[in-house]
Amino acid sequence: MERLIVAAVLVALAVVVAVVLDRRRPDAPTQARWAVPTQLDRADFARSEATWLVAVFTSATCDSCAGVVARALPLESGEVAVQEVEVGAEPELHRRYGIDAVPCLVVADPAGVVRASFVGPPTATDLWAAVAELRRDPSEASGSTSVPEAGP
């Protein structure tokens, strides 16, 4: 009987130690996930006749958004429409496409399918390379480029 009591005490002690150690372990780091639209209605944007649309979802209170717009504007051409969609000016488009983080930049083809995307400020090189790849051969483009970095 004495051995049974000692065994039960040891098991209870082991359980208590395991619970204490488990509570001391920190939670896993938070992983941010933001929604990026996969399809746009090109009629919602200016120059719907352009082959490619670069839509930059921004906010007037976002420090890095102006830089993303500045990096996107040189892409404007006969084939590429670039449009800033600022949440204060066009809140319905932000709601419609579920934009919950800015800057969010998407590149859509003529059917409105988003072929590349960036959440956070992309470098000019990454942005221009993604658009160049899509324009060169849209059937072999990699699809979505995600750059979740917060920038410099």
Q: Where are the domains of the chain?
A: 42-140
pLDDT number for residue 137: 74
Tell me the C-alpha to C-alpha distance, in Å, between residue 38 and each of 12, 75, 82, 109.
53, 21, 18, 11
pTM of the model: 0.71
| From 26-30, 37-41, 47-51, 93-97, the region with the lowest mean pLDDT | 26-30
pLDDT number for residue 148: 38
More reliable by pLDDT, 59 or 29: 59
Q: Which helix (H) or strand (E) holds 134?
A: helix 124-136
Asked: is 42-140 a CATH 3.90.220.20 domain? The reply is no
CA 133 – CA 117 distance, rounded (Å): 13
84, pLDDT greater than 90: yes
